[in-house]
Structure 1
């Protein structure tokens, strides 16, 4: 359960809309971070990519429902005709890529939490383009490239989490979320898990494909994006609540990480 402070006891603002584009035989969707519950039989194989850590319950290709922990930057795959049940009280931002022409994707086995640097690069490009609400990009090439990363090759086996287990990731998320309006750093995160700073940095990068500092920035940006749905909050106020040095600092990081400014994203997100 997420730890609460006086600020985040308020009802959260509505999530950003689902962003979708169709390009050639591909349909690409960016799903916002919010609670969800779904059950279906996959009519076609699908590629997924979790930008955020997620947790909940699922049963993939089985009738056994069990807890799941999705790590940030985790690549996932669901083959056609696979039974899927998944629910999460919080969810996380997620990219979903499917073919619309009936052609099956390579790969026979469902998986998640696969850390693949090239898949991360492609997914980040797709997210940035979807947030800018423009179709002038190499969508088909990106989708094909991502499809190559889900083939059943031993070289692409799921990366072990090592010392950063799902439980430790949950502790980090709760700790970060309750302290985003103040200074946070690697020293504090390592101490929370009882690890040295050097060991923590190496273990975190191994488990998620990104540095702890980069992850902290991503959590600040995610909270800012959620608060931006509240039209009564000024961007300067949001920057302060999310722990940025200034509104200009927040804007710079939005452009660097998401390819769009906070003002532009707020405009795109309005119904």
Structure 2
């Protein structure tokens, strides 16, 4: 299935995770791994996207004006048919893309991203887990239709609200977390970085990302572990400690719980 994969890697890794794809019924679905990319195309069909990670770069959507973008983690996105798209990022991020293959247009004429929707988060996580496990018999059509409804139905009309956790503050948090992943890291340190009380920070973070700071921290540990598994020859026990897990067994348990696969299976 090549119709959806418009993203071209800028610096491909020798051991890069593959693009995982499934085409079922009237839907084409793919999971793009975290990697630098550059893309330019005119969308021949509408597509729905979901950014699992923070992403930063430059883009132009439906115009020739290129400007910086900062995508929040767990953000739902929509690109309408006919939209002229340019997007480039030196860091990328894991991304889910969905489109119909039967020619029926998805409603909506304006692109958007950074939409936080709890049901969309739940659906995207289920679809990512199934793609990583290569479970081709899962209920793909039901999931794809439900996610499309979150992006194009009444739920898509609400204005995204990030509160105190702006994209700039999210970037500061990501940099702080990345530098501290090899050790313990609590909510108090993250809240202190932004000058917020712990209670206010936890509420604002969930509003902006759809999940708790602790859950997001686990996601960042997993993302770093996957990157080290892909780009290094380090032992899994070494990777576990470098990413802040107590042991290789702890890391393996977290992989199974959050991704549905073991580190050995992914590597």
TM range (shorter): over 0.9
Measure how far apart 1:158 and its partner are: 3.5
1:139-183 alpha-carbon deviations (Å, 9 max, x no partner) = 011111111111252664242111101110000011111111111
Normalising by the residue count of structure 1, what TM-score does the alignment of the two structures yield? 0.91
**Which runs of no fewer than 5 residues in structure 2 stay unpaired?**
1-11
Number of residues paired by the alignment? 256
Partners of 2:136 and 2:155 lie apart in 1 by: 35
Partners of 2:225 and 2:126 lie apart in 1 by: 20
- Aligned residue in 2 for 1:197: 198
Partners of 1:102 and 1:158 lie apart in 2 by: 29
Measure how far apart 1:265 and its partner are: 1.5
Measure how far apart 1:13 and its partner are: 6.9
- Aligned residue in 2 for 1:43: 44
**Which runs of no fewer than 5 residues in structure 1 stay unpaired?**
1-10, 267-271
Structure 1 pair 42–12 and aligned structure 2 pair: CA distance change class (3 A): closer
Pairing of 1:71-150 with structure 2 (within 5 A)? 71-150=72-151
Measure how far apart 1:15 and its partner are: 3.0
Normalising by the residue count of structure 2, what TM-score does the alignment of the two structures yield? 0.92
Tell me whether 230-239 or 217-226 shows the greater mean CA deviation.
Answer: 230-239
Measure how far apart 1:249 and its partner are: 0.9
Q: Is the 8 A contact 2:46 2:79 kept in 1?
A: yes
Partners of 2:194 and 2:16 lie apart in 1 by: 31
Partners of 2:70 and 2:234 lie apart in 1 by: 32
- Aligned residue in 2 for 1:269: none
List structure 1 runs of 4+ shifted beyond 2 angstroms: 11-15, 152-156
